[in-house]
Amino acid sequence: MSDSYTVLPLTSEVREWLHGEGVACPLASGRAITSAELMRLIQSLSSVQGKRVAASADCELSDSSTEEHTLLLVEESAQPSGPCEFHFRGGHVSLVVRVVAAIAALAGPQVIHAHSGEFTKVVVGP
């Protein structure tokens, strides 16, 4: 069974939860991104290809240089410029971290939480 990974912007509420779990956090906060921003970020990653699944915003992501893959599931906002919710299902954690690092570079610190409870990681941009 493959794991799923939720991605959340680091906010005061998320920071409070993480402190309770003993996870160190930066003081900076992040923000949610739109589905358009998410798709532009994916297209900007070298060697990463995104293939849309049917007519949805979901994408099969693969990295041609490492042969890593994951499925990105996107729930778009009702407003075109509103933030989207998304998570990753299965595949390679290192590719998930790479995509989330690109998000963090644009939108500030992001948190990856494995649904299995295996790990929770704060990702900051460069």
Q: Supply the pLDDT for residue 53.
A: 79
Query: Which one, of 54, 66, 50, 8, lies nearest residue 32 by Cα?
Result: 8
Domain count, the chain: 1
Name the pLDDT band for 55 (thresholds 50, 70, 90): low
pLDDT of 1 above 70: no
Name the pLDDT band for 81 (thresholds 50, 70, 90): confident
User: Please, are residues 30 and 108 in contact by the beta-carbon 8 Å criterion?
Assistant: yes
Dihedral of CA 5/6/11/13: which sign?
Answer: negative
User: Please, are residues 103 and 84 in contact by the beta-carbon 8 Å criterion?
Assistant: no
Residue 50 sits in a domain whose CATH number is 3.30.310
Q: What is the pTM of this model?
A: 0.91
Domain that holds residue 74: 4-123
Residues 97, 46: Cα–Cα separation, whole Å: 14
